[in-house]
């Protein structure tokens, strides 16, 4: 078929439909854009605690801190060094109860917002000063996280293990299939956080560090718009059941603890581009599908 014929055909068959297609595409684009804009940053008077929870373990990643900050002034000893010693989670823990001799922040939800600010800007202790790095919004977010996200897990874990009465693993499996399977695959092996020789799967995190897994499940991933307890409307019990199920997934390591210790968020690539690409692909697919449908209808 030559070009002119094709053009004629397109004009005759599709021209009336083109307006419709453009309209549908526009609506879809606007919908997708507004959803991602809302998810990207929810600013409000009291901060976004989910964002705050992500800053808690990776604020340097968000602010793209590339300079070498050296060892945090409150960090003694040489067990860790560099930017890791600046992350809240390193000192206050995945269960917020404090690592080694560092104090917990479980009871800090009783502080007022002004008092929490005093802790973050060095007024309480000049060595505990993050004001050079944090934006006002980030301080609000992390304050909100301390007020409503930080939870006392002492009844939920015993000796680091999830206490059984808190989890329904069959229900957890269902949640895994709905929320995680698309990226991590049915057995959790699709994303390998280790190397080919020393693989590290989602099951390793669940088994070796259920408290970290709980934080990720409740508050979502860095820069990837996966669900969180607030967007999914989950109670703690939902999250716990999902964590319980991830403990059962196949692991890459027989003893993953050592490797998991070395796992560093900085090594994870910036996924913004991938997410944008995915959105563009979705739009292209939708346009193609609407074309096909309209064409079928047209005879």
- Contact positions toward ligand HEC, by CB under 6 A? 59, 72, 74-75, 85-88, 90-92, 102-103, 105, 107-108, 111, 116, 119, 125, 128, 130, 142, 146, 179-180, 182-184, 191, 202, 205, 213, 216-217, 221-222, 224, 226, 246, 268, 271
To ligand HEC, the closest distance from the beta carbon of 225 in angstroms equals: 7
Beta strands in the chain (DSSP E): 157-158, 161-162
Tokens (6 digits) for 237:
């019990």
Entry field: residues in the chain? 299
Q: Which residue has the tokens 């600046």?
A: 86
C-beta of 156 vs 180, nearer to ligand HEC: 180
C-beta of 174 vs 179, nearer to ligand HEC: 179
To ligand HEC, the closest distance from the beta carbon of 125 in angstroms equals: 4
C-beta of 16 vs 160, nearer to ligand HEC: 160
CB 82 within 8 A of CB 74: no
To ligand HEC, the closest distance from the beta carbon of 59 in angstroms equals: 6
To ligand HEC, the closest distance from the beta carbon of 30 in angstroms equals: 22
* C-alpha–C-alpha distance, residues 143 and 102, integer Å: 19
* C-alpha–C-alpha distance, residues 27 and 196, integer Å: 43
Half-sphere CA count of 191, side-chain side, radius 13 A = 12
CB 84 within 8 A of CB 113: no
To ligand HEC, the closest distance from the beta carbon of 38 in angstroms equals: 17
């Amino acid at each position: 078929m030559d070009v002119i014929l094709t053009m004629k055909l397109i004009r005759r068959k599709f021209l009336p439909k083109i307006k419709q297609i453009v309209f549908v595409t526009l609506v879809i684009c606007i919908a997708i854009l507004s959803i991602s804009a809302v998810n990207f940053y929810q600013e409000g008077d009291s901060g976004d605690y989910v964002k705050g929870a992500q800053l808690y373990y990776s604020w340097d990643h968000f602010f793209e801190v590339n300079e070498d900050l050296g060892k945090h002034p409150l960090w003694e000893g040489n067990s860790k060094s560099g930017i890791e010693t600046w992350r809240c989670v390193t000192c206050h823990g995945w269960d917020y109860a404090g690592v080694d001799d560092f104090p917990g922040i479980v009871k800090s939800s009783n502080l007022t917002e002004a008092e929490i600010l005093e802790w973050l800007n060095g007024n309480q202790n000049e060595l505990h000063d993050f004001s050079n790095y944090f934006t006002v919004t980030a301080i609000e977010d992390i304050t909100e996280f301390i007020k409503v996200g930080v939870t006392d897990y002492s009844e939920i874990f015993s000796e680091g293990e999830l206490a059984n009465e808190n989890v329904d693993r069959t229900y957890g499996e269902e949640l895994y299939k709905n929320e995680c399977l698309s990226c991590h695959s049915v057995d959790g092996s699709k994303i390998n956080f280790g190397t080919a020789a020393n693989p590290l799967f989602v099951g390793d995190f669940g088994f070796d560090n259920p408290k970290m897994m709980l934080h990720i499940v409740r508050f979502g991933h860095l820069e990837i718009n996966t669900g969180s307890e607030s967007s999914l409307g989950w109670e703690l019990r939902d999250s716990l059941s999902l964590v319980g199920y991830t403990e059962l997934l196949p692991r890459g390591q027989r003893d993953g603890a050592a490797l998991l210790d070395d796992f560093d968020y900085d090594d994870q690539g910036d996924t913004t581009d991938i997410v944008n690409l995915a959105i563009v692909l979705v739009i292209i697919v939708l346009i193609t599908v609407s074309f096909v449908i309209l064409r079928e209808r047209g005879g």
